Amino acid sequence: MIISRQKEFDEILQLLTQKNIFVIGCGKCAKKQHTGGEPEVLDLKEKLKNAGKNITGWTVLSSACSIISWEDVLAQNPEIKKSDALLIMSCGGGVSVISRYAGMRVYPALDTESLGGVCCNEIVKELCGMCGDCTIWQYGGICPVTQCSKSLLNGPCGGAVEGKCEVDERLCAWDQIFERLKQLGKLEDLEMIQGPKDHTKKFRGKKV
């Protein structure tokens, strides 16, 4: 699941220089996190109205990043044609897909943080660093690229205090990796020296 959070309302208002706005939510990740489902779309719509914007209409797409075609969205939502701009309550993937086809100004209402997950109503952030070179089993299923604040692949930095990362309140990923590998009886995996990541596997520019 893509983890996102709503931008501050004042920031959204500053972005929207146009008057006639159509709001689009997302029925997948943003809905599950309550950042861009129907209740959030309606709430934002009201706030924008109160701030003097003309909301031409709204919808929650089943998935903003995965649409059949823009014509299909337009057919379901003819008010879009009467609008000056679109405000999208989805992750950057959804905003990008819509921007690609809409032919008008498209603004994000959310900031996209990371690739995470949800289980038993608990939203877990930064589970995968999308490095393009997955070796997560070597770390007991805990990805150091994103769970360690410095993406260290060979062990902890020494900056943790009482088990807490120097960056925030989270526990040091390396303690968790150790515990998980211990449970799995695979502590020897920690002894392997890991080389630097090959970033051509993530970014464009890979030699063909």
Partner 1 sequence: MSFISNLHSGKFIITAEISSPKGTDISRMNRDADLLKGIADAVNITDNQRAVMRMSPLAACGIIQGKGIETIMHITCRDRNRLALQSDLLGASAIGIRNVLVMSGDHPVKGDHEGAKPVYDVDSVQLLGILKKLNNGFDFAGNELAGMTDLCAGAVTNTELNETGFIKFKKKIQMGATFFQTQAVFDIKSFSGFMEKVNGIRSKNVKIIAGIIPLRSQRSAEFLNMVPGIKVPEIMVRKIKVSKDPEAKGMEIAARIIREIRPLCDGVHIMPVGNHDNTKTILEMAGLI
Q: Site residues (CB under 8 A) for partner 1?
A: 149-161, 166-167, 174-175, 177-178, 190-191, 193-197, 199
For partner 1, which is the closer residue by CB, 64 or 172? Answer: 172
* Smallest distance, partner 1 to C-beta of residue 161, A: 5
Q: How far is the CB of 177 from partner 1 (least distance, A)?
A: 7
Please check whether residue 36 is in contact with residue 25, taking contact to mean a CB–CB distance below 8 angstroms: yes
Nearer to partner 1, 68 or 193 (CB): 193
**Concatenated DSSP letters for the chain?**
-EEEEEPPHHHHHHH--SSEEEEEEESSHHHHTTSSSHHHHHHHHHHHHHTT-EEEEEEEES-TTS-S-HHHHHHH-GGGGG-SEEEEES-HHHHHHHHHHH-SEEEESEEEEEEEEEETTEEEEEEE---SS--GGGGTT--HHHHSTT--SSS--S--BTTB-SSSSSBPHHHHHHHHHHHTT-GGGGGSPPPPP-GGGTSS----
- Least CB distance to partner 1 at residue 147 (A): 13
Q: Which is nearer to partner 1, 39 or 163 (CB)?
A: 163
Name the residue nearer to partner 1 (CB basis): 87 or 160: 160
Closer Cβ to partner 1, 16 or 152, answer by number: 152
* Beta carbon of residue 33, minimum distance to partner 1 (angstroms, whole number): 24
Shortest distance (Å) from residue 74 CB to partner 1: 39
